[in-house]
């Protein structure tokens, strides 16, 4: 995915895509650990795409765009206690 295309995505979707790519990388690392090396090229490309997404995300945050509030562990614990 090109950086120009990534810049066109809004902040919430970009953050969701970064999380999805993180999960995919985890699965691919697990598969490669099991000896299934078919996904090596996909793994490398996914790492590069994720790095581009994180770069654009950081650019947007530095430019002053506001991230949607992410639920924290403390807030989730407070809800459970009530």
How many CB atoms sit inside 10 A of residue 28's CB?
Answer: 19
At 50, list the tokens: 């994720």
* Greater pLDDT, 55 or 76: 55
Q: How confident is the model at residue 75 (pLDDT cuts 50, 70, 90)?
A: low
pTM: 0.70
- How far is 82 from 80, CA to CA, in rounded Å? 6
Residue partners of 57: CB distance under 8 A and separation at least 6 = 11, 14, 15, 18
Domain coverage including residue 15:
3-81
Q: What is the per-residue pLDDT across 1-60, written as a single tens digit (0 to 9) for each?
A: 788 888 888 888 999 999 999 999 998 888 888 887 677 888 899 999 999 999 999 988
Give the total number of structural domains in the chain: 1
């Amino acid at each position: 995915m090109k950086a120009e295309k990534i810049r066109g995505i809004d902040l919430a979707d970009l953050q969701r895509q970064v999380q999805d790519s993180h999960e995919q990388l985890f699965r691919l690392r697990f598969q490669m650990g099991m000896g299934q090396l078919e996904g090596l090229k996909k793994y490398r490309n996914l790492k590069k795409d994720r790095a581009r997404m994180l770069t654009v995300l950081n650019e947007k945050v530095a430019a002053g765009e506001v991230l949607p509030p992410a639920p924290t562990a403390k807030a989730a614990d407070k809800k459970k206690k009530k």
